[in-house]
């Protein structure tokens, strides 16, 4: 069996993918094509009748990087990322109007328009409406589309957002819709006021669309635990996209407060930003900022050293840690190159020794009650 050390060069990664037949698991849930590591990409069990929707595949692709979240990306580079992910067996894709001010949706839609719509799961988000402008606002995106935006969590705004997204992507439907960024990190204490608007607008609208079969599930896509807990109190969400809050270096609040509540209600978690937006994959970046907190840097270094002792690397440990909890339905790292897609896919298909996780708990680097891979 190979370890992650075997695929750290571009040539090795390319050769690994060439030897790896695309997974047919989404079209044929009972079968998995083998990876070079000897294991398949992880899948969720077949859905129970009447159960909440979960993406069939537990490894997906997030759309922040395609939306130029960290660097300008050409249309050709975006197509390379999408094609590599598809060829590797990825069939869950997440995007948002916010990512690149519509750019991520357009680029994903361009590629997905050539695929059978029943062969993949797609999620997007609501909460911001785009309008064409000559004066693009200052945003985090490195090369955004020429749009300005306004916040809107009302019923009308939710319906318009979905319609606009379908137009941008050139597609007929979404599987999951997340209420986006309705959280303290974006609005401070006023997030509660926005939540009250959503409780009368976006939440009942998405619930109705689910009941009518227009979408399969809805939830919140946020970087904080609190809105998810509030949503479970007042509504009936299916799935949360929780970014930066459940990673190998930062996870106890989500683990102890949100995960038990989700398990009680049958809701699941899609883990976004499993590398804390790049740090755990070797980037000088943490939670969308260039500065890495010293304590996090030290913790990451200690985890990386233990990973190396066990023949693997920090990226692989990070992804597999996020996949371990039963309440997690998918993990969706982003990628700006095909090679990154390949390395992530190989990481989730690798088998890691149980004593690695025991060592991390013994050194108190992960919570004692944190689930670890079987």
Residue carrying structure tokens 């328009």: 113
Question: Distance (Å, rounded) from C-alpha 179 to C-alpha 249?
Answer: 26
Q: Reply yes or no on whether 99 is catalytic.
A: yes
Q: Write out 191-232 in H/E/C secondary structure.
A: HHHHHHHHHHCHHHHHHHHHHCCCCCEEEEEECCCHHHHHHH
128's tokens: 């911001």
Q: How far is CA 300 from the centre of its chain?
A: 21
CB 107, CB 66: distance < 8 Å: yes
Burial class (CB in 10 A: 0-12, 13-18, 19+), 33: middle
Query: Among the residues of 88-201, which ranges form H helices?
Result: 103-112, 155-169, 184-187, 191-200
Handedness of CA 16, 73, 122, 194 (dihedral sign): positive
Q: Write out 265-294 in H/E/C secondary structure.
A: HCCEEEEECCCHHHHHHCCCCECCECCCCH
CB 58, CB 90: distance < 8 Å: no
- Please identify which of the residues 99, 120, 153, 286 carries the catalytic annotation: 99
Strand partners, 129: 150
Question: Distance (Å, rounded) from C-alpha 139 to C-alpha 120?
Answer: 30
336's tokens: 């700006």
129's tokens: 């409406």
Q: How far is CA 219 from CA 49, 240, 369, in A?
A: 20, 5, 26
Provide the annotated active-site residues: 99
């Amino acid at each position: 069996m190979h370890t992650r050390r075997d695929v750290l060069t571009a040539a090795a990664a390319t050769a690994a993918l060439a030897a790896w037949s695309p997974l047919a698991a989404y079209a044929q849930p009972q079968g998995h094509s083998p990876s070079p590591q000897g294991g398949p990409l992880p899948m969720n069990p077949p859905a129970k009748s009447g159960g909440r929707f979960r993406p069939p595949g537990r490894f997906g692709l997030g759309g922040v990087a395609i939306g130029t979240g960290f660097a300008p990306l050409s249309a050709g580079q975006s197509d390379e990322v999408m094609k590599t992910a598809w060829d590797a067996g990825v069939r869950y894709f997440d995007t948002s109007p916010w990512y690149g001010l519509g750019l991520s949706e357009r680029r994903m839609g361009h590629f997905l328009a050539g695929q059978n719509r029943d062969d993949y799961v797609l999620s997007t988000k609501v909460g911001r409406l785009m309008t064409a402008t000559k004066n693009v606002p200052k945003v985090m995106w490195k090369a955004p589309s020429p749009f300005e935006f306004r916040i809107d969590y009302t019923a009308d705004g939710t319906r318009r957002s979905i319609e606009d997204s379908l137009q941008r992507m050139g597609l007929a439907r979404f599987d999951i819709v997340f209420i986006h960024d309705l959280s303290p990190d974006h609005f401070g204490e006023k997030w509660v006021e926005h939540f009250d608007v959503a409780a009368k607008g976006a939440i009942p609208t998405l619930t109705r669309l689910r009941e009518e079969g227009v979408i399969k599930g809805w939830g919140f896509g946020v970087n904080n635990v609190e809105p998810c807990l509030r949503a479970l109190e007042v509504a009936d969400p299916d799935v949360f996209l929780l970014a930066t809050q459940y990673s190998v270096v930062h996870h106890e609040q989500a683990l102890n407060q949100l995960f038990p509540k989700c398990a009680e209600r049958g809701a699941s978690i899609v883990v976004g930003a499993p590398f804390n937006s790049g740090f755990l994959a070797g980037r000088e970046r943490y939670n969308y900022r260039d500065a890495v907190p010293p304590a996090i840097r030290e913790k990451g270094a200690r985890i990386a050293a233990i990973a190396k002792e066990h023949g693997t690397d920090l990226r692989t440990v990070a992804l597999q840690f996020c996949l371990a909890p039963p309440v997690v339905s998918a993990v969706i790292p982003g990628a700006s190159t095909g090679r990154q897609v390949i390395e992530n896919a190989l990481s989730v298909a690798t088998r890691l020794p149980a004593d690695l996780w025991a060592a991390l708990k013994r050194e108190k680097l992960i919570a004692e009650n944190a689930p670890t891979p079987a």
